[in-house]
Amino acid sequence: MLSKNHKQNSNFQITHFLVGACHTVDGAYSLLCDLKEEREASIKNYAVTQLKEKAKKLRAEKLLNGGEADKLYGQAKLMELKNNAETGKILYEAALDELGHIEKCIVAINSLRLYADKTDLEAHELAQKEEWKYELIARAENHLLTTGTIPADHFATMRMHPAFKEVLLPYIQKIQSLATTAQGQKELMENISENKFDLPKLLK
């Protein structure tokens, strides 16, 4: 059962399915920065929303001095604002908790980054080549181990990568060769289960 509990992503999802899907530390850092930026924006927007809600409350309270229809509308608006405030506080606290976990992840991997000496913008760009290389390899492994073949569209994408001839193609050929024997399949399964870095362990 999937449950986010008012978050964009639970701590478990971030650790195992988002960062866990990254193949390099620098790729993980880049993703975490995106997640951090989104949560920080949401938290900052909470203060803006509170001011707007205060203005709406003042307007609603003035309606209570009007005619019957205005009074009813004012009462309904005040109830709505109260409900929104309660929900907003829950979402705000969930965003703070999520941001805290994201920042904890960043601290855990920061010393392992190859491009830590670069600006974030430079580091994000530099991470792309290696991250995409391993992502394309992982997809090829999944295809070969489940269907025995690589779809034409994925193969076309692999060919666009600068490391196709030197790394990707030889690796595909190696996988295809290993997949033909029981021992080779066992070796493949052992290799694909090995993480490039173990975030859960780093977080302990």
Number of compact structural domains in the chain: 2
Give the whole-angstrom CA distance, residue 125 versus residue 114.
Answer: 12
First to last CA, the chain: 25
The residue from 110, 145, 164 where one domain ends is: 110
In a domain, 95, yes or no: yes
Task: Judge whether 29 and 95 are in contact, CB under 8 Å.
Answer: no
One domain, residues 96 and 140: no
Residue 105 identity (one-letter amino acid): C
- Burial class of residue 137 (count of CB atoms within 10 Å of its CB; 0-12, 13-18, 19+): buried
pLDDT for res 185: 79
pLDDT at residue 20 above 80? yes
Task: Note down the domain range covering 90.
Answer: 11-110
pLDDT band at 194 (very low <50, low <70, confident <90, very high): low
What is the CB neighbour count within 10 angstroms for residue 131?
20
Residue 197, pLDDT score: 76
* Burial of residue 50, with CB atoms counted within 10 A of its CB: 0-12 exposed, 13-18 middle, 19 or more buried: middle
Q: What is the pLDDT of residue 203?
A: 86
Residue 196 maps to a domain: no
177 and 105 share one domain: no
The closest of 42, 18, 39 to 30, measured between CA atoms, is: 18
Q: What is the mean pLDDT of the chain?
A: 92
**Claim to verify: residue 73 and residue 129 sit in the same structural domain:** no
State whether 132 and 69 are in the same domain: no
Note whether residue 201 is domain-resident.
Answer: no
Residue 199 lies in a domain: no
- The percent of residues above 70 in pLDDT, for the chain, comes to 98
